[in-house]
Structure 1
Amino acid sequence: MSNTPKTDALMARGADFLGSEHAILCGAMSWVSERNLVSAISNAGGFGVIACGAMTPDLLDTEIAETKKRTDKPFGVNLITMHPDLFDLIAVCEKHAVTHVVLAGGIPPKGSVEAIKGGKNPAKVICFAPTLALARKLLRSGADALVIEGMEAGGHIGPVSTSVLAQEILPELSEEHLVFVAGGIGRGSAIAGYLEMGACGVQLGTRFACAKESIAHENFKKAFFRASARDAVASVQVDARLPVIPVRALKNKGTEEFTAKQREIAGSLDREEIAMAEAQLQVEHYWAGALRRAVIDGDVENGSLMAGQSVGMVKEEEPVADIIAKLMAQSEEALTQRR
């Protein structure tokens, strides 16, 4: 008998779609959402998602294989749409019969959704939708589910808050489609609210970044424990020609270095040394390197400490299973009080 029947009932569609006990996705965080954390989340009843980021096909192949050694539960893979080897990465996912592929970073290129859904081992496609119009377009293009992520989230963000996106999109789409809500979620009471609005589940990243099973450096985790919501700030775009998607991270020297990096890349565009597509890739590679310095090397001054505004609710290192159990209990308590 479940201890969270009300929450389970509202999550039923999302959990069935994911093949997990709870409709709680872990947001893909580069260098953090790897084999250890992903398998731990799936084993605890959530749905782990590998952050492919700038990985090569060979690296992704290894990461998926190592994750499968650690869990027999479903998990997904997050692919960046602008990755030059996107179709090779899709082929790796198909080879391993990955059940769900999350496409992030923009509109999926032509043929990518079909490649994911049409192979020998077809997977479900989850896409990010920052507006209602784009949400409808993605669903028409074959997306099986959507994540609407507000600007409170960590990492790459859009310009609209989670609460506004939820009010705009859920009433329009949630009855007939699967919509997960993300951005700034740190407690189960917020999960309960979005489920009641029609979400089929939620996605959290920051809440899991400092889990016991996360390989993130001790310095990285301590920076999270010290931080408050206002410390997680969005990056600034310095050149209108360089369409840099804002990134939310804890303010440090690395934040300032990214501003300088944008100026450097803009200068290369001025001199026509690189094309726009290459400029955008340079930005992505910069973030991959900056994240590694913080997450793996523990350089919390110069690396990127990507974090959502829910970081102020991350106070200690906890096992993934405890985090999920706590979120579910908080959601159930909120629903019970209201019903």
Structure 2
Amino acid sequence: MSEQNNTVAVTDAPTQPELQRARKRLDALWRRGTDFLGTQYAILGGAMSWVSERNLVSAISNAGGFGVIACGAMEPARLAEEIQATRALTDRPFGVNLITMHPQLTELVQVCLDAGVGHIVLAGGIPPGAAIKAIKDGGAKVIAFSPALVLAKRLVKMGVDALVIEGAEAGGHVGPVSLTVLAQEILPHIQSVPVFVAGGLGRGDALVSYLELGASGGQLGTRFAAAEESIAHEKFKKAFVRAAARDAVTSVQLDDRFPVIPVRALGNEGGRQFVTHQADVIRRFQSGELTREAAQLEIEHFWAGALRRAVIDGDVEQGSVMAGQSVGMVTSVQPVAQIIDDLVEQATVALVRQQRRMDTDG
């Protein structure tokens, strides 16, 4: 299929037969993921506090993806209500993300099992062995996060059914390593369970590259946070549309004695004030006005309620506008179904062009 012979160029519009073949190839590439999730597409919605609730979760699942409720700080009764409300909006599979440090983790797991939730995501730390056992004994699947190969191997031995590897490009709380490195480190060596990639994903053609490395699917948060079905404030969504990739920055830590968990969000006045706040707290600690413990608490409490202020109230200057670097690819507020259709189309076209290059080289 050489361009020199005036046949089809690599970048020409795909033909219908080419698209059909490419879709079969895509289905094969992420079949392990779709079989595991029970979905049409191996695309998970990242669990985002205040955003990943019944409306967005059900929209993702109804569009063929896998929505995930963000439990966050919910009490058991509140989580049970949210699961029931989500099930009223979709009859397709969805999961629940639980924070391992939640003081009522055991009760929250039981709420999920009683409600028939098939997949439980354990996040925010190494999941307790007892929680993994309870979930599996209850008939559900366990998904956990791994920021390094050594932990991935440990989690598999602990019995988790799937992993998510999330790069530093992601929004919210992040680790120090990019997805491009994590994928190379982990995917070749973890093959006994499905591994989903996350962090900075904004296009379907990028996802294809990870599928070909051995990933079973991808997780996206930022693209969905600005979707029509997201309950996020319009000012929050407009901030996403305006932002470039470089605007999504991690929080600054001024002193190693007072660690700050890195959070990626859009730079704003709140972020600048956080730096000033840390400097003031450190000065008060050094003068003896504050103990180390009190100083650490003052630093940590600065952002209390900041995410809610941004997402729900629309305070995008003082609140925490958590966003991944893929925010630069959010150019409009779209329905969830359109976002997923675009991702699948981009992945399919990428596979068509890949086949054309192979045909040309042959």
With normalisation by structure 1, the TM-score equals 0.91
Kindly report the root-mean-square deviation, in angstroms, between the aligned alpha carbons of the 2 structures. Answer: 2.4
User: 2:261: which partner in 1?
Assistant: 245
User: 2:121: which partner in 1?
Assistant: 102
User: 1:185: which partner in 2?
Assistant: 201
The answer on whether the counterparts of 2:129 and 2:158 sit within 8 Å (CA) in structure 1 is no
Q: Structure 1, residues 181-214: CA drift from partner, whole Å, max 9, x if none?
A: 1000111110110011110000000011111111
Unaligned runs of 5+ in 1: none
The answer on whether the counterparts of 2:252 and 2:275 sit within 8 Å (CA) in structure 1 is yes
1:48 to 54, 67, 73: 67
The answer on whether the counterparts of 2:281 and 2:295 sit within 8 Å (CA) in structure 1 is no
Alpha-carbon distance between aligned partners in 2 of 1:157 and 1:9, rounded to the nearest angstrom: 31
Instruction: Tell which structure's C-alpha radius of gyration is larger.
Output: 2
User: 2:157: which partner in 1?
Assistant: 140
The answer on whether the counterparts of 2:196 and 2:218 sit within 8 Å (CA) in structure 1 is yes
1:73 to 92, 96, 99: 92
The answer on whether the counterparts of 1:15 and 1:23 sit within 8 Å (CA) in structure 2 is yes
The answer on whether the counterparts of 2:183 and 2:197 sit within 8 Å (CA) in structure 1 is yes
User: 2:7: which partner in 1?
Assistant: none
Q: CA deviation at 1:159?
A: 0.4
Q: CA deviation at 1:302?
A: 0.7
User: 2:291: which partner in 1?
Assistant: 271
Letter in 2 for 1:157: V
Name the SS for the 1:111 alignment partner.
Answer: helix
Alpha-carbon distance between aligned partners in 2 of 1:240 and 1:228, rounded to the nearest angstrom: 30
User: 1:34: which partner in 2?
Assistant: 53
Closer/same/farther in 2, CA of residues 139 and 257 from structure 1, 3 Å limit: farther
Letter in 2 for 1:142: G
1:221 to 231, 234, 237: 237
Letter in 1 for 2:101: M
Q: CA deviation at 1:59?
A: 1.5
Which deviates further from its counterpart, 239-248 or 300-309? 239-248
With normalisation by structure 2, the TM-score equals 0.86
Alignment of structure 1 residues 1-339 onto 2, 5 Å: 3=20, 4-119=23-138, 122-173=139-190, 175-259=191-275, 271=291, 279=297, 283=300, 287=303, 289-339=305-355
Closer/same/farther in 2, CA of residues 275 and 60 from structure 1, 3 Å limit: farther
Q: CA deviation at 1:109?
A: 2.5
Alpha-carbon distance between aligned partners in 1 of 2:66 and 2:90, rounded to the nearest angstrom: 11
Letter in 2 for 1:133: V
Closer/same/farther in 2, CA of residues 261 and 75 from structure 1, 3 Å limit: farther
Alpha-carbon distance between aligned partners in 1 of 2:129 and 2:277, rounded to the nearest angstrom: 31
The answer on whether the counterparts of 2:196 and 2:215 sit within 8 Å (CA) in structure 1 is yes
